[in-house]
Every structure is written in C-alpha cells, then in structure tokens.
Amino acid sequence: MLNKVRPALGRVLTPIGQAVARTGVSPNAITVIGTIGVAAGALGFFPRGEFFWGTMVITAFVLFDMLDGAVARVTGKTSKFGAFLDSTMDRVADAAIFSGLMIGLYRDDQEALAAVALYCLVSGVVVSYAKARAEGLGYTCNVGIAERAERLIVALVAAGFDGLGVPYILALALWVLAVLSTVTVGQRFATVYQQARDSEKPAGPPQNHESSAGSHA
C-alpha cells in the first residue's frame, strides 16, 4: 500500500543520499549498519520491556537504513548483490523486532500475546518468501494489504505507545497484524495461482486456414 508514496520519498531522500555519499560510505555498509542497529535496539530493549526506548532506537536505524537506496542511486553503485543484501538484512531486522517483542511479552507473563507476536514473525516471513519465490518463477506478486513497511509501522507505533503506558494498544496491533498478514499471504497465493492457471491453459486447436479460405471462395 505504501508503494504509492515511494517516488515522493525517493525525491526527499536523494539530497540526503548525496550528502552521505560524499562521506564515502557505501550503500552496502549502510544496509549492514542499519540492520545491526535495528537488531541491537530490538534485542537490547524489547526483552526487558523497554518498548518506548527500543522503538526510538529501531526507528532511528530504520530511517538510516532507508538511505542505502538513495546513496546507491546517486553514486551509480546499484547492483544485484546490493539488492540481495538489502532484502536479506530486512528479514534479519524483522526477525529481531518480533523476537524481541515476543521475549518481552513472555517475560511479562503475557504468553498468549507472545504467541501472537511469534505468529506475526512467521507470517511476515511467509509474506516475503511468497513474493520472492513467485518472482523467481517468473510471476508478479506485488499485492497485499500488509507489506513490510505497513507491518513495521503498525508494530513500532504500537510498541512505542505501549512503552508510554497506553493500554491494550500493543495487543490490538499484534492481533490486527496477525489477521492482515494472513490475508496478505492469501492474496499472494491467489494471485500466483491465477497466473499459473492462465499460463498453463492449453492452446486452442489450430485453425484450418485452407478450409477457411475455401469456404470464402
């Protein structure tokens, strides 16, 4: 859903990317540093129940990580390996965030909600894998009500407010994420199934052009 705002976001990040590029930092280094920062914030704060400060640290490094694409564009250092690294590090960051939430909730004796956080982690992985596998098979799979950006925004905003003492918001957010992630998986399965069925339809019988020409003679 947030794909529609990416062109505008790219225009905003380009000047910042130009400034960062002048420091000599590579796009791949930005990706790795951003992921390490996110993982440190999630696993350092969330398991201790410090959801607000964990969210602040994670958000800072998520914003920093967004610069890798801008730096790659302005320096001309875009590459297939860079895309692979970025996608893989995204999975690591997501795993750290939801694992941290799960551990923190479990330690707070909220076992049921910890299980929901685990489900959000697993379903998020399936959402991403379904798209990657579909594209590897030659299909398009750019559908889904809850892609990565939406999932992160909901989870982090809720965790931050929970850290400020707002009741029930994290529980509500995780349940909503669980439902939306499940719907997204279904949307992607349905999209790929339709494309696969269309591509495997047998061709119609060949027309007899000679008979057709004779009938008009």
The residue type at 198:
D
Q: How far apart are the first and last CA of the chain?
A: 57
CB 68 within 8 A of CB 34: yes
Which tokens is 108 given?
């707070």
- Residue 109 is a catalytic residue: no
Angle between helices 148-163 and 51-65 (to 10 degrees): 150
Report d(CA 45, CA 53) in Å as an integer.
Answer: 7
3 state SS of 140: coil
Closest CA to 73 of 20, 32, 5: 20
CB atoms within 10 A of CB 6: 12
Q: What angle do CA 143, 135, 35 make, to 5 degrees?
A: 80
Identified catalytic residue from 65, 90, 94, 162: 90
* Residues labelled as active-site residues: 90
